[in-house]
Amino acid sequence: MVVTVKNPEIPITEIEQSAFCQSDGDLKSKPLTEELDVGVRWQKLPVSYMRMSPEELDDRISAARHTLGKNLVILGHHYQRDEIIKFADLRGDSFKLSQFAAQNKDAESIVFCGVHFMAETASILSGDSQRVILPNLAAGCSMADMAQIDDVMDCWDDLSDQLGTNSITPITYMNSTAAIKAICGRNDGIVCTSSNAAATYKWALEKDKKILFLPDQHLGRNTGLKMGIDLSEMIVWNPFKPLGGHTPKEIDDAKVILWQGHCSVHTRFTVEQIRLAREANPDVNVIVHPECTMEVVEAADSNGSTEFIKKTIEDASPGTKWAVGTEISMVNRIARENSDKTVFCLDSVVCPCSTMYRIHPAYLSWVLDGLIQGVVVNEIDVDEETSSYAKIALDRMLSIV
């Protein structure tokens, strides 16, 4: 008999975002008890897993994978630790991983090594008989937390009162809760990722309506500029102020309304870091993620999703130099896998995405052992109504790009 354990309520905050910042770049996993010494609050798990060494966990995970065979698929986002990504059957950006979940209905269990909104999306897109598991439920995304459903509903109501219903197309970045994706599904909107944001803007602009872009103002602004929308036509909606901090006229005049959200990892990158990288290496190529600010994206040579960054550097000529503005676990891995090129992070103080980092091998081992024993821990489930509307917005994205 399979037993499903009820998920605990876990507060997901941005407070821990700088907990693992360092200047020597050594991110090798330690036993969980030692990692928790820095004062972070992660999901509780049996104490025996907390004491296991990385080597012991490595052996346990390998053995569990072997036992579970084809009943298990492990998906890994590029920002995962090396000790996790080595077990991924598929690595990718959030678009590639969601495509996989939509197309592969064979494995009984999908263990998603990434963050909560990614596992939620996989749960919506996967088959009815499949289960999706997030090894550590505290692995959220601080940007997704910046758009709370009640605040988004208030914004939607205010905009509808102000502009009339049917005059806005909501686009939500994948980095948002299923409830927000469902608002997009209900209101002729769409989901996007960093690899297809421009295509979703094009789709929305053809409808000749305003765009409400959630929750990353930077991706929204960078994409608007790419599509030829003037900066003066984009306003930022502050959920803590009446009418988002705008006059009715400002809202009337705007073409794009950007939610006031950001990624704490990517907003660390600066134009000054790019200047210093170019000064030290005149022939360097600067490549950044579009969650960086507009100024950083403009100063870089190119920008794109994690998969785009990985592929661009892989395809580059030997001997080329790359300064990268994205999460450090991924930058270190690209550097190691492209030893014929010089690859380094734009920021000398490196900060892993603290929520991606919460997928420690102890959690992966715990959930896999559970599956072997018939105990499902940390299953991600989305209620039927939310899931069906969110799926409409996700399917639109998958069909246009």
Does 356 sit near ligand SF4 (CB under 6 A)?
A: yes
Does 223 sit near ligand 13P (CB under 6 A)?
A: no
Residue range at the interface with ligand SF4 (CB under 6 A); choices 50-58, 137-145, 249-257, 339-347: 137-145
Q: Which is nearer to ligand SF4, 142 or 195 (CB)?
A: 142
Does 346 sit near ligand SF4 (CB under 6 A)?
A: no
The 3-class SS string of 363-396 reads HHHHHHHHHHHCEECCECCCCHHHHHHHHHHHHH
Among 94, 126, 169, 264, binds ligand 13P (CB under 6 A): 94
Q: Which is nearer to ligand SF4, 130 or 136 (CB)?
A: 136
User: Which letter does DSSP use for residue 46 in this model?
Assistant: -
Does 126 sit near ligand 13P (CB under 6 A)?
A: no
User: Which letter does DSSP use for residue 22 in this model?
Assistant: B
Helix, strand, coil percent content, the chain, rounded in steps of 5? 45, 15, 35
Among 263, 313, 324, 328, binds ligand 13P (CB under 6 A): 263
Pairing mode of beta strands 284-288, 302-303: parallel
Binding mask 218-247 for ligand SF4 (x = CB under 6 A): ------------------------------
Measured CA to CA, the distance from residue 351 to residue 268 in angstroms comes to: 9
* Residue 73: its H or E element: strand 72-77
* Residue 321: its H or E element: strand 321-325
How many chain residues interact with ligand SF4 (CB under 6 A)? 13
Does 306 sit near ligand 13P (CB under 6 A)?
A: yes
Rounded to the nearest angstrom, the gap between the alpha carbon of residue 126 and the centroid of all alpha carbons in its chain is 18
Measured CA to CA, the distance from residue 399 to residue 396 in angstroms comes to: 5
In angstroms, what is the minimal distance from the CB of 289 to ligand 13P? Answer: 6
Does 355 sit near ligand SF4 (CB under 6 A)?
A: yes
> Which two structure tokens, joined as six digits, stand for 122?
């996989």
Task: Give the footprint of ligand 13P on residues 320-349 (CB under 6 A).
Answer: none
Binding mask 175-214 for ligand 13P (x = CB under 6 A): x-----------------xx--------------------
DSSP string, 241-277: SGGGG--HHHHHH-SEEEES---TTGGG--HHHHHHH
Q: What is the binding site for ligand SF4 (CB under 6 A)?
A: 115, 141-143, 175, 263-265, 291, 327, 353, 355-356
Q: Which residues bind ligand 13P (CB under 6 A)?
A: 93-95, 175, 193-194, 263, 289, 291, 305-306
